[in-house]
Structure 1
Amino acid sequence: MTHLIDRQTNSWRMDMLYEHFAPDDVALIQAIPLGGNQRADFFGWYFTKTGRYTVKSGYHTTRLDETRTFKPCGSGPEITPLLASVWRVRCPPKIQHFMWQVLTGCISVSANLGRRGLACDIGCIRCGADEETINHAIFVCPPARQVWALAHVPVGPLSFPTESVYANVDHFLGQQNPGANIMTFPWLMWYIWKARNARVYENIVEKSEDIVRIAEGEATWWQKAQLEEDIGIPVSFPVGLSVPAATNTLPTEFSGYRCFIDGSWKAGDQFAGAGWCCTSLQDASPLMGARSFRRSLSPLHAEAEAFLWAMRCMIGHDFGDVAFYTDCADLVKMVSSPSDWPAFSTYLDDITMDREEFSSFSLSYISRKANVTADSLARQARHRETSSPTSQANLLNLYQKPYYEYVEVV
């Protein structure tokens, strides 16, 4: 009787939702997590996965509906792919941004200042040319040409530099272009500009050979630093929470339980899936669980819900010493720094309360290859409603494990 009343109540609620909201909005409303703790409403930022506002996301959001008014002038290669390729150049972000400013005409050379209404001499202070344009300052001015020549860039009237700033930058970007092997060109552009500013604002004349030496030295040190980062530097997290480099191996000595967890989410599916696999030295056969639940807002929400459910399963089995493992690095980050993830506060409040039930608790990041069992369980649960007896039998036949836990669809 109680089950029948619950179904009637849910049906009435669904009718009310569809009466007042569009179908797409109903799906979103149903996906909103409802935690066990009551807390006051708070503001969040929809345009980041954490729910915290960032200047970068705000800037990106304001440009979504903006009409692009930039129209490049002059001759040279197609500007749109050229602008995109600038952000793929291996150099510091500030130099990438500088190169983008060069191509979009945002550099404050004398000619640009004059067009903006500033009363100034638009000539080049270094060589006396009638007009100092961006192309002139970076590529054509004799001191700049000398820097490019000393850096072993082939210089000639038909190849480089030309009268097009786009062609001059493209000279280095394309794999088949003549300057493709000059890896230091971003730093050369940057320090040519800094030398120009030193001459204009401080009346300091820097030697071309010094500019080349500094640029090449900075490029070498930066590229060496990137190689060291690629090797991997451990990241520090609070005790009990860790994100080591993804690995397929685990510590051989562990007296408690290891619980591998995973969530499965797909935009077109009605349900999401969760799976866990728990092993210990005391039990030769692993314990496993799988369930499906109404699709949440995002894959990361599904990961959080799967972790919370796995924690409660471990509590239900009276396992106090548990090390959890996930292949979702963001899940580890949000549990280690819950205040930085307000979009997941509903889950994180419950996780914070439930972790007090454990005598020993940890959450670590592993590679997907080390988490295949939990991943398979979650995927199978997403495709099958685990409240169905037929689906339960199929999953048992698939995995043939001695223990399997099912939870009805919510």
Structure 2
Amino acid sequence: MKVHPHHGLMRSLKWDLAEAYREEEQYWKLRSKEKLLSEGDRNTKFFHGSVQRRRVQNRILSLFDDNEAEQFAEGSKGEIAVEYFRKMFTSSNPSLISEALEGMLPRVTENTFPRRPINKELMMDLNLKVSSLITAHGEWNVLKLNELVPPCDVTHIRFFPPEVSVADKSVWAYTKDGNYSVKSGNWVLTREADLMEVIPADLQAANKTKERVWKVSTSPKIRIFLWRVLSGALAVAVCLRRHGLNINPVCQLCNGSNETISHVLFDCHLAHNVWSITGLPLWSHGSPISIAERVDHLLNLMEKQDVDKEWREAIPWLLWGIWKARNSTLYAANTNSPYFVVATALADTKEWLQQNILSQQGTVLRNQRQMVGEKLWTKPAFGKIKCNIHTSWIKDSCHVGGAWIARNHAGDAIFHTRDAFLPMFNRLAAELHGILWCLRGLRDIHIVSCELWSDCGAAIDALRRPEVYPKYRSQLLKIQQVIRVMREVSFHLSSPKANALAREIACSVTRDGRFTSYLARGGPAWLHNRIEDERRGRR
């Protein structure tokens, strides 16, 4: 009996097998967190080996307890870790609050590590709620605040008006929305551990060199390669032995010394010949300096104007070329000439720089095309009113001045105003206060439909996504209440140049000390010519 193959079934089975291989590869790729190999290659074995190496590297074999006894059991190691963090976050119950405040400077920071206000009292009331610090008129109870927290924190708290309609609840201080996340908790613990850790001087220098690597003008994959060089994360013999692999530590190319990263990139005969061809001023052959010092020296050479530009720019590609040549010799049995490595590095450098220049020029042209309609002030649609607003905030003194100017579809100024506000803690709070003041002013003069344009992107974002800005909830709710009684209000982001007139009027408050508020028809006389130029669309 002759059996004919079922081609459709065979194709289906081959497809299922290929899909299973792909899923297995993707699984181990995700577990290994390796991103340097291209997707689609059959690298399952490599990814699986990477996972095993990471497990060996990250495993904590033992911990020392309080009696300096080394513990290997999993339960004992867990108890030591729990006790360590319990002590770290447990109060020592100081008898005087001055002990806790000793060495602290009264400073309010906005973008650094957040903290709760310092409590003056020795005994803390755990049932104290925010609502108990608010008066019947919806304002902060300043006397109560001064009893509980230092003056610097009272000032900070008063910059954010309370919202009595919101019920008290517990919040996590290290996320914008106040909800706890594992990521933020890990960040807090890591930062606390970093602050307590004493970093050696050589490691600090290596970290600074790593920071410089990310600013090198080269391909992103070469930046990652340089970072791995400084981190000791290349698959050379010494590093692999450190991770538990029992292999020969001697360099397989020259058989002269142990295969370290420094040896492969600088001291091996191939690398030594490459650097000799370049003629760059390096250290003497075989000098006992660290890999971080050598990379730092090369980065310094790239910044020296007296070194030939062609060689300076090719330094990252020379390192990359030496590493690729080493791999092709070991794993593909290729013979690599140092002259070929140098020529390839120079050609790759030239090509990348040319393509990078073209890419940057294209980006600039695209940005210019996109900004053509935003750069200058334009008239609103027929029957619409366009209101440009700006809030001038001085960082050092926290002085705030605001102004807005409203114009119709013909470009004629119909109203403008300015005012000085109470000091604000940051620009966003000042901008939101200015927008609330503007909306109330428009409502009072019976303008219930308008376009509001501001050059503060954070303020526009807060109005569109109020849930991301819980600290400004009170101001945002007041703005929403005013909008509800108006007919139609839309918010738009303006370029600084298109918002220049409102900026000039607002800056006259903080710059020239013009604190007298007023509301007037038309535009200010001293800006008449500029208003007319914008109305006529003059450049």
Structure-2-length-normalised TM-score: 0.54
Amino acid at match of 2:307: P
CA contact (8 A) 1:35 1:350 kept: no
Correspondences of 1:300-315 after superposition (within 5 Å): 300-315=428-443
1:391 aligns with 2:520: no
The match for 2:261 is 134
1:332 aligns with 2:460: yes
Structure with more relative contact order (C-alpha pairs < 8 Å, separation 6 or more): 1
**Structure 1 residues 42, 286: closer, same or farther in 2, change over 3 A?**
farther
Amino acid at match of 1:361: S
> Partners of 1:94 and 1:62 in 2: how far apart?
32
Q: Secondary structure at the match of 1:332?
A: helix
> Partners of 2:214 and 2:255 in 1: how far apart?
34
Correspondences of 1:210-249 after superposition (within 5 Å): 212=345, 217-218=351-352, 220-233=354-367, 248-249=375-376
**Structure 1 residues 183, 206: closer, same or farther in 2, change over 3 A?**
farther
CA contact (8 A) 1:155 1:161 kept: no
The match for 2:492 is 363
* 2:313 counterpart (180, 183, 190): 183
The match for 1:173 is 302
Percent of pairs identical after alignment?
Answer: 20
1:88 offset after TM fit, Å?
Answer: 3.1
1:262 aligns with 2:374: no
Amino acid at match of 1:90: S
Which stretch has the larger CA shift, 376-385 or 248-257? 376-385
1:231 offset after TM fit, Å?
Answer: 3.7
1:44 offset after TM fit, Å?
Answer: 5.5
1:86 aligns with 2:220: no
Deviations 1:59-81 (A, max 9, x none): 895587254524439xxxx8787
Q: Secondary structure at the match of 1:72?
A: helix
1:25 offset after TM fit, Å?
Answer: 0.8
> Partners of 1:12 and 1:92 in 2: how far apart?
55
Deviations 1:157-210 (A, max 9, x none): 76899775434523533223526543243344345445656666x657596559
Q: Secondary structure at the match of 2:417?
A: strand
> Partners of 1:337 and 1:27 in 2: how far apart?
27
Deviations 1:36-65 (A, max 9, x none): 86366474655889999888x948955872
> How many residues are aligned here?
375
Higher helix share: 2
Correspondences of 1:7-156 after superposition (within 5 Å): 13-35=141-163, 38=166, 41=169, 43=171, 46=174, 58=187, 61=191, 65-72=195-202, 85-91=212-218, 95-96=222-223, 98-103=225-230, 105=232, 107=234, 109-115=236-242, 118-144=245-271, 153-154=278-279
> Partners of 1:348 and 1:70 in 2: how far apart?
48
> Partners of 1:187 and 1:358 in 2: how far apart?
62
1:105 offset after TM fit, Å?
Answer: 4.9
1:263 offset after TM fit, Å?
Answer: 2.2
1:27 offset after TM fit, Å?
Answer: 0.5
Structure-1-length-normalised TM-score: 0.68
1:232 offset after TM fit, Å?
Answer: 4.2
Q: Secondary structure at the match of 1:274?
A: strand
1:317 aligns with 2:317: no
CA contact (8 A) 2:405 2:415 kept: yes
Deviations 1:257-283 (A, max 9, x none): 222222233344365333222222468
> Partners of 1:69 and 1:350 in 2: how far apart?
49
Q: Secondary structure at the match of 2:158?
A: helix
The higher radius of gyration belongs to: 2
Structure 2: segments with no counterpart, 5+ residues: 1-134, 528-539
CA contact (8 A) 1:52 1:341 kept: no
> Partners of 1:158 and 1:12 in 2: how far apart?
66
1:379 offset after TM fit, Å?
Answer: 4.0
Deviations 1:121-149 (A, max 9, x none): 22223443421222222334344456668
1:17 offset after TM fit, Å?
Answer: 1.8
> Partners of 1:285 and 1:159 in 2: how far apart?
74
Which stretch has the larger CA shift, 125-134 or 103-112? 103-112
Output the aligned Cα RMSD: 5.0
**Structure 1 residues 245, 67: closer, same or farther in 2, change over 3 A?**
farther
> Partners of 2:357 and 2:411 in 1: how far apart?
50
> Partners of 1:161 and 1:351 in 2: how far apart?
70
1:251 aligns with 2:385: no
> Partners of 2:314 and 2:465 in 1: how far apart?
39
Q: Secondary structure at the match of 1:178?
A: coil
Deviations 1:238-257 (A, max 9, x none): xxxxx958954122464322
The match for 2:402 is 274
